[in-house]
C-alpha cells in the first residue's frame, strides 16, 4: 500500500487523497514522522471548494489521522523508553548476580583458608605442647598436616577461581 501510494504521490503531487493514503501506509508501517509530514501536506492541499459537508468530513478524517499519528508516535517513544529501562534493569540484575556469585565464592575461599589455619593451629598446638620430641621431630609432625591443609586451601581457592573464570567466560560467550 505504501509503495503504491508513494508512486501515486509522485505522479499526482497536488492530490490530497494520495498524500493521505501514503500517510496511512507510513503510519501502519510505524514510520510516524513521514506519516505526519504526508498528512500535513494533505491538509495543506485540501481544497476549500466544493460541498461544505464533504470538505468538513475530509477535514475531520485528516485531523483524526493526524491525531492517531501523534498518539502512535508518543506511544512508540514511551515503549522505546520502557524497553530501554527494562534493558538497563536486566543488565543491572545480571551485574548484581555476578557480584553476588563472586562474593559467595570469595567467602568460601576465605572460610576454607581460615578453617585450614585454625585446624593447623589446633593440630600443631598439641604437638608443640608435647615435649617428648625434639625440634626436628616436632617440625616434621607439624609440616605433614600443615602441608595437607595448605594443599586443601589451595585446591579450594584454585577451584573457585576456575569456576568463576569459567562462568564469566560462558557468560561472555552467551552475550555474543
Q: Can you give the pLDDT at residue 110? A: 84
Q: Can you give the pLDDT at residue 34? A: 93
- Beta-carbon contacts of 146 under 8 Å, excluding residues fewer than 6 positions away, are 120, 123, 124
For the entire predicted model, the pTM comes to 0.57
Q: Can you give the pLDDT at residue 174? A: 57
- pLDDT tens digits, one per residue of 112-143: 888 878 877 777 777 666 667 777 877 787 78
Residue 176 has pLDDT above 60, yes or no: no
Amino acid at each position: 500500500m505504501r509503495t503504491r501510494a508513494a508512486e501515486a504521490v509522485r505522479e499526482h503531487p497536488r492530490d490530497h487523497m494520495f498524500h493521505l493514503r501514503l500517510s496511512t501506509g507510513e503510519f501502519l508501517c510505524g514510520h510516524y514522522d513521514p506519516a505526519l509530514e504526508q498528512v500535513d501536506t494533505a491538509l495543506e492541499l485540501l481544497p476549500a471548494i466544493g460541498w461544505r459537508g464533504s470538505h468538513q468530513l475530509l477535514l475531520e478524517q485528516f485531523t483524526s489521522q493526524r491525531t492517531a499519528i501523534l498518539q502512535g508516535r508518543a506511544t512508540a517513544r514511551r515503549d522505546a523508553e520502557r524497553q530501554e529501562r527494562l534493558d538497563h534493569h536486566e543488565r543491572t540484575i545480571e551485574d548484581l548476580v555476578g557480584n553476588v556469585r563472586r562474593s559467595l565464592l570469595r567467602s568460601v575461599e576465605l572460610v576454607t583458608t581460615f578453617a585450614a589455619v585454625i585446624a593447623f593451629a589446633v593440630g600443631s598446638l598439641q604437638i608443640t605442647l608435647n615435649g617428648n620430641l625434639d625440634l626436628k621431630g616436632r617440625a616434621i609432625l607439624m609440616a605433614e598436616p600443615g602441608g595437607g591443609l595448605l594443599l586443601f586451601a589451595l585446591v579450594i581457592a584454585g577451584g573457585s577461581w576456575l569456576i568463576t573464570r569459567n562462568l564469566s567466560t560462558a557468560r561472555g560467550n552467551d552475550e555474543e
